[in-house]
């Protein structure tokens, strides 16, 4: 097995994406990713084609191409995009069992891209519907501002000047059929256009494109919001561009609801898709970080859990005890004292050399500690522990000890 790097290996990274080429005809490719540092002896974990793959690699030899490094979430996103592009699951040249990239969230959505393209090409049914009826549909809120009157006035001017003909070459209003129940559709986009149509005597009906339930039910709420943003693009008139603030709220929502990092490649890819400049993307990410921090601030009925005090101390001790077996151990650490984590772990390992699996339960104690950990220290200390642990290997070269970090709940509601 030989390997080659298509990009220089950085000093620090969470994982990497690779492609294996077996030196034979027919089925010969495998694409995957791995968390941690590059391992020249790792070339994938298969299920369906496992025996054939390993047999072919042994018989014909193979080359591993390392395609990119980065955060593990970004690597997973790029892996899935790669597998979807070639439809690896159904491609006779690929060994992959599926087009998925693992269990973590990646931000990738095959259905979103497909549905968006079908809408742009008006592949769904398009009908003429009375403007009053369409205006009565519930509307998905795309922007932070409910309605911008100057924009409505601008569209109304176009409608009146053309006696309604201005609308003829515009996209149909997009509607998700039965979204709110039987015969209760949801409208996404076109709010300002419809408001102008309601004031225009030359318009009686509008074109509506109907996205059936079997299609939109494949999308999450966040993906519907993304779709609505795409239908209100950055560089098009007389629409209103989606602003940096609105992009920032979209990014922050993904971070809070799906645990997708604010600076994840999937966020940047979507914003580039919508015409954002590098500067605009950087601004949206910066604003999103602020929104996430503000959102994570405690509500009046919440308190921060202090795991060094009762009753939480007893609960943590029980959790630590449950994670301790003959071959596994656990330590606890406050991120306010994070500098002690390495010494605490090494001491525990020295005292328990028979244990090969360790959990690090960590807690914050203060909002400031949580913020510093999430945005400054986490990658550094995880890499530091990984570095020391990877130095201790078995005779076969595998890490002798497996370390897992597990966050503890940060806050809970006050008890009355």
Residue 189 shares a structural domain with residue 133: yes
pLDDT at 410: 85
The residues, any chain, with a CB within 8 Å of residue 143's CB and separated by 6 or more, are 232, 240, 242, 243, 246
Residue 273 shares a structural domain with residue 335: no
What is residue 357's DSSP assignment?
E
pLDDT at 110: 64
End-to-end CA distance of the chain: 64
Residue 229 shares a structural domain with residue 247: no
pLDDT at 70: 84
pLDDT at 67: 94
CA geometry: angle 127, 117, 136, nearest 5 deg = 40
What is the three-class DSSP state of 188?
strand
Among 15-29, 184-198, 234-248, the least confident range: 234-248
- Model pTM above 0.85: no
The mean pLDDT value for 376-389 works out to 74
Whose tokens are 């997708």? That residue is: 260
Question: CB of 262 within 8 A of CB of 252?
Answer: yes
Average pLDDT, rounded, for the chain: 82
pLDDT tens for 54-79 read 888 888 989 999 999 987 777 888 88
Question: CB of 126 within 8 A of CB of 209?
Answer: yes
Residue 332 shares a structural domain with residue 392: yes
DSSP code string of 28-97? -EEEEEEESS--TT-----STTHHHHHHHHHHH-EEEEEEEEE-HHHHHHHHHHHHHHHTGGG-TTB--S
Is residue 307 domain-resident? no
Instruction: Compute the distance between CA of residue 250 and CA of residue 267 in angstroms, rounded to an integer.
Output: 9
Residue 67 shares a structural domain with residue 155: no
CATH number for 219: 3.90.1530.10
pLDDT tens for 104-156 read 445 656 688 788 878 888 889 999 999 999 999 988 766 545 566 777 888 89
Residue 117 shares a structural domain with residue 225: yes
Strand order in the sheet with 15-22: 2-5, 62-70, 15-22, 29-35
* Both structure tokens of 293: 């921090």
Residue 115 shares a structural domain with residue 230: yes
Is residue 96 domain-resident? no
pLDDT at 97: 82
Question: CB of 44 within 8 A of CB of 53?
Answer: yes
Which of 90, 118, 148 is a domain's end point? 90
Largest interatomic CA distance in the chain: 85
Residue 316 shares a structural domain with residue 271: no
* Both structure tokens of 251: 């990014």
Is residue 381 domain-resident? yes
Is residue 155 domain-resident? yes
Per-residue pLDDT at 23 exceeds 90:
yes
Going by pLDDT thresholds of 50, 70 and 90, the confidence category of residue 235 is very low
Which of 204, 237, 270 is a domain's end point? 237
* Both structure tokens of 141: 């809120």
Is residue 101 domain-resident? no
Instruction: Compute the distance between CA of residue 342 and CA of residue 311 in angstroms, rounded to an integer.
Output: 27
Residue 343 shares a structural domain with residue 326: yes
Peptide bond into 407 cis (omega under 30): no
Going by pLDDT thresholds of 50, 70 and 90, the confidence category of residue 296 is low
Query: Which of 183, 181, 171, 180 lies closest to 209 in space, CA to CA?
Result: 171
* Both structure tokens of 213: 């339930």
| Domain range enclosing 386 | 312-413
Residue 210 shares a structural domain with residue 137: yes
Question: CB of 291 within 8 A of CB of 404?
Answer: no
Helix (H) / strand (E) containing 11: none
* Both structure tokens of 375: 């945005």
How many structural domains does the chain have? 4
Going by pLDDT thresholds of 50, 70 and 90, the confidence category of residue 298 is low
Is residue 50 domain-resident? yes
Give the count of beta carbons closer than 10 Å to the beta carbon of residue 213: 13
Whose tokens are 């494109």? That residue is: 209
pLDDT tens for 244-271 read 777 888 888 888 777 677 888 888 888 8
Residue 354 shares a structural domain with residue 400: yes
Question: CB of 194 within 8 A of CB of 173?
Answer: yes
Per-residue pLDDT at 213 exceeds 60:
yes
Query: Which of 8, 33, 31, 20 lies closest to 106 in space, CA to CA?
Result: 33
* Both structure tokens of 234: 């950055």
Is residue 305 domain-resident? no
Is residue 304 domain-resident? no
Give the count of beta carbons closer than 10 Å to the beta carbon of residue 361: 18
Residue 178 shares a structural domain with residue 208: yes
CA distances (Å), 353 to each of 65, 177, 346, 393, in order?
37, 61, 10, 13
Reported residue count of the chain is 416
* Both structure tokens of 67: 């395609």
Going by pLDDT thresholds of 50, 70 and 90, the confidence category of residue 238 is very low
């Amino acid at each position: 097995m030989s390997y080659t790097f298509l990009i220089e290996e950085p000093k620090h990274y969470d994982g990497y994406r690779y492609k294996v080429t077996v030196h034979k005809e027919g089925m010969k490719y495998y694409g995957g990713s791995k968390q941690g540092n590059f391992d020249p002896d790792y070339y994938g974990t298969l299920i369906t084609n496992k025996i054939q793959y390993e047999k072919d690699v042994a018989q014909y030899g193979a080359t591993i191409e390392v395609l990119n490094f980065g955060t593990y979430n970004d690597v997973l996103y790029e892996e899935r995009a790669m597998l979807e592009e070639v439809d690896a699951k159904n491609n006779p040249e690929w060994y992959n069992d599926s087009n998925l990239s693992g269990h973590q969230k990646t931000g990738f959505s095959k259905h979103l891209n497909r549905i968006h393209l079908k809408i742009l090409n008006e592949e769904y049914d398009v009908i003429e519907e009375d403007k009053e009826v369409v205006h009565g549909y519930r509307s998905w809120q795309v922007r932070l501002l409910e309605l911008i009157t100057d924009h409505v006035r601008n569209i109304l001017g176009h409608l009146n000047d053309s006696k309604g003909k201005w609308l003829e070459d515009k996209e149909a209003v997009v509607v998700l059929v039965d979204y709110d129940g039987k015969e209760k559709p949801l409208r996404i986009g076109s709010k300002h256009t419809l408001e102008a149509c309601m004031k225009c005597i030359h318009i009686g009906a509008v074109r509506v494109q109907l996205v059936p339930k079997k299609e939109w039910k494949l999308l999450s709420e966040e993906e519907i919001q993304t779709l609505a943003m795409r239908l209100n693009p950055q560089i098009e008139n007389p629409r209103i561009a989606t602003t940096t603030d609105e992009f920032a709220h979209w990014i922050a929502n993904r971070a809070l609801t799906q645990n997708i990092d604010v600076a994840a490649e999937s966020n940047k890819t979507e914003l580039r898709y919508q015409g954002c400049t590098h500067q605009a993307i950087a601004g949206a990410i910066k604003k999103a970080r602020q929104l996430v921090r503000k959102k994570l601030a405690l509500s009046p009925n919440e308190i921060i859990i202090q795991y060094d005090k009762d009753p939480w101390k007893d609960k943590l001790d029980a959790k630590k005890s449950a994670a301790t077996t003959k071959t596994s151990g656990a330590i606890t650490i406050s991120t306010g004292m994070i500098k002690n984590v390495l010494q605490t772990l090494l001491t525990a390992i020295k005292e328990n050399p028979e244990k090969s699996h360790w959990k690090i339960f960590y807690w914050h104690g203060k909002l400031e500690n949580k913020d510093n950990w999430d945005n400054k220290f986490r990658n550094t200390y995880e890499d530091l522990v990984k570095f020391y642990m990877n130095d201790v290997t078995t005779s076969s070269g595998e890490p002798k000890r497996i370390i897992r970090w597990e966050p503890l709940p940060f806050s809970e509601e006050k008890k009355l």
